[in-house]
């Protein structure tokens, strides 16, 4: 548990820094949105481009793992999306809730934890998982949000509007450009590489500080009742921390029969708490972010216990 807490501690520290700055008035009332704009338009696109530009087809050639992790992410996403739509939540908001229940923090927590438990051999599946989460799952959520926000009913006009919106979205364009650079064997100059790493490295810390700023904001009159927000956040947190790793375990062991080492990495990655991506989307599209922000907070707190239990079970003697 101590090793898990030591890795999660910086996350709490960054959230707390934002929270304290907001409460003490060090950063203004628009700081959360402005900081999130930096993440969406500069930090995260640089990170996504770098991930795709440095990924080779040989590295990604693990069809069994890709299938397991993709399905383990898709099932909670689709189930949550359907449940929220049945509860009469709008498609854009339901999509953000769905990604909050299925978006493991592979980049910020997955790499150090997997290296701690499984060593260098875990880097390839963790990289694949990061691409699936940060690029594929993210893109699906963005498409659904864009569809939900458009008012055009004619199918061809709706499709045209969505495609135009996606073409202007840096979170969609950057990984596509990165993939093209990788496929074309384009060598990124060292100075540009440094620039991208500096920007990309700022994405997660800034998003966590922005989250703390948001949690400290006073909610306007008429906003959703606090108890309902907490209830929904707890349900989504349970889906993330319990349902997703169980689905991954069942698929990895019973359906695809992955090697034991890969099974362990898959389960640990699926058991990670929710990353900051869903909160970035909620802020970027100006959707209500109370539920999403609390899922990130609750799942990260809960992961101190749940991840410790998972890690203890995975490294148990045979």
Question: What residue segments make up the domains of the chain, in order of their start?
Answer: 30-215+225-313
Q: Which of 96-100, 186-190, 239-243 has the lowest mean pLDDT?
A: 186-190
Q: Mean pLDDT highest for which of 14-23, 138-147, 245-254? A: 245-254
CB 104 within 8 A of CB 244: yes
- How far is Cα 57 from Cα 59, in angstroms, rounded to an integer? 5
Q: Are 66 and 314 in contact (CB under 8 A)?
A: no
Q: Which pLDDT score is estimated for 286? A: 84
Q: What is the pLDDT of residue 184?
A: 87
pTM: 0.80
Res. 239: pLDDT tops 70 = yes
Please write the tens of the pLDDT for every residue from 178-188.
888 888 888 88
Say what the alpha-carbon torsion angle 298, 203, 102, 93 is, to the nearest 10 degrees: 90
Tell me the β-bridge partners of 104: 274
Give CA–CA dist 151/288, Å, rounded. Answer: 19
Q: What is the pLDDT of residues 226-237, one digit of tens each?
A: 688 899 999 999
Read off the pLDDT band of 222 (50, 70, 90). Answer: very low
Top pLDDT among 298 and 316 is at 298
Of 16-25, 119-128, 201-210, where does the model show the most confidence? 16-25
Q: What is the model's pLDDT at position 151? A: 64
- Summarised one tens digit per residue, pLDDT across range 49-89 is 887 888 777 667 789 999 999 999 999 999 999 999 999 89
Q: What is the CATH number of domain 30-215+225-313?
A: 1.20.1530.20
């Amino acid at each position: 548990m101590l090793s898990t807490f030591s890795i999660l501690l910086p996350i709490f520290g960054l959230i707390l820094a934002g929270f304290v700055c907001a409460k003490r008035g060090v950063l203004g009332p628009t700081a959360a949105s402005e900081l999130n704009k930096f993440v969406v338009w500069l930090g995260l696109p640089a990170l996504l481009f770098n991930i795709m530009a440095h990924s080779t087809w040989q590295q990604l050639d693990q069809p069994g793992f890709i299938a397991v992790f993709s399905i383990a992410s898709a099932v909670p996403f689709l189930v949550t999306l359907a449940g929220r739509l049945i509860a009469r939540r709008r498609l854009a908001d339901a999509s953000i809730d769905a990604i909050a229940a299925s978006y493991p923090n592979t980049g910020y927590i997955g790499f150090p934890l997997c290296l701690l438990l499984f060593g260098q051999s875990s880097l390839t599946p963790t990289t694949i998982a990061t691409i699936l989460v940060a690029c594929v799952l993210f893109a699906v959520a963005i498409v659904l949000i864009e569809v939900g926000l458009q008012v055009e009913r004619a199918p061809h006009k709706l499709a045209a509007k969505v495609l135009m919106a996606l073409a202007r979205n840096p979170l969609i364009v950057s990984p596509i450009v990165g993939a093209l650079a990788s496929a074309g064997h384009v060598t990124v100059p060292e100075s540009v590489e440094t620039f991208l790493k500096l920007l990309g490295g700022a994405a997660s810390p800034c998003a966590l500080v922005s989250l703390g700023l948001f949690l400290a904001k006073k909610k306007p009159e008429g906003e959703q009742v606090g108890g309902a927000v907490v209830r929904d956040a707890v349900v989504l947190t349970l889906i993330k921390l319990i349902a997703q790793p169980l689905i991954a375990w069942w698929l990895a062991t019973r359906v695809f029969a992955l090697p034991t080492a890969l099974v362990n990495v898959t389960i640990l990655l699926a058991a990670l708490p929710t990353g900051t991506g869903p909160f970035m989307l909620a802020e970027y599209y100006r959707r209500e972010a109370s539920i999403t922000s609390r899922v990130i907070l609750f799942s990260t707190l809960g992961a101190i216990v749940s991840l410790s239990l998972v890690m203890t079970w995975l490294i148990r003697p045979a």
